[in-house]
Every structure is written in structure tokens, then in C-alpha cells.
């Protein structure tokens, strides 16, 4: 696995982890600390999505394939 593939896998892992935390595991925040943590996670998630959007199309397509292979159960991956 070359450095680009490792970076794409890292992005896919981060995207999956944050998506799961935001929308599946803890979809609401009831206390102030939970709200603050959720806001921080949303910001990080948006940063990951912006980074992915800035990738060349070839790397974006490779990332989609990585997501299908490793995180095929995620709702944002198309089968």
C-alpha cells in the first residue's frame, strides 16, 4: 500500500468514524458537554469532507472503492 492509498484509507476511516458518532451512535446531545463535543465533531467531519472534495477525481474514485470495501455497510456508500 503506497502513501496515497494509506492517506485515502485514513480519510475513509475518519469519515466513517465521525459519521457513525454523529448520526448513528449519538444522534442527539442532551447536555452542554455533549453539545460542545458534537459541534467539534461536526467541524472535524466537515473538514474531512472538504479535504475529500479537494482531491483529484482519480483519488476520489479510489476513496469510494475503499469505502465500499471496508465500510460497505455505511449508508453513504452506494452498493
In a domain, 65, yes or no: yes
Residue 37 belongs to some domain of the structure: yes
User: Is 75 inside any structural domain?
Assistant: no
Look up residue 43 and give its three cell numbers: 467541524
Does any domain span residue 79? no
Q: Is the residue at 15 inside a domain?
A: yes
Residue 77 forms part of a structural domain: no
Phi, psi at 77, each rounded to 5°: -95, 135
Q: Is residue 78 part of a domain?
A: no
pLDDT in tens, 56-74: 999 999 999 999 999 988 8
pLDDT digits (tens, 9 = 90+) for 29-51: 789 998 999 999 999 999 999 99
3-state SS assignment for residue 46: helix
Nine-digit cell at 4?
496515497
pTM assigned to the model: 0.85
Structural domain span for residue 26: 3-70
Into how many domains does the chain fold? 1
Amino acid at each position: 500500500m503506497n502513501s496515497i492509498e494509506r492517506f485515502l484509507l485514513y480519510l475513509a476511516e475518519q469519515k466513517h468514524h465521525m459519521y457513525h458518532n454523529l448520526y448513528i451512535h449519538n444522534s442527539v446531545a442532551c447536555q452542554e458537554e455533549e453539545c460542545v463535543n458534537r459541534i467539534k465533531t461536526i467541524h472535524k467531519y466537515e473538514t474531512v469532507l472538504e479535504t475529500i472534495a479537494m482531491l483529484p477525481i482519480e483519488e476520489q474514485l479510489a476513496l469510494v472503492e475503499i469505502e465500499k470495501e471496508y465500510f460497505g455497510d455505511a449508508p453513504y456508500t452506494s452498493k
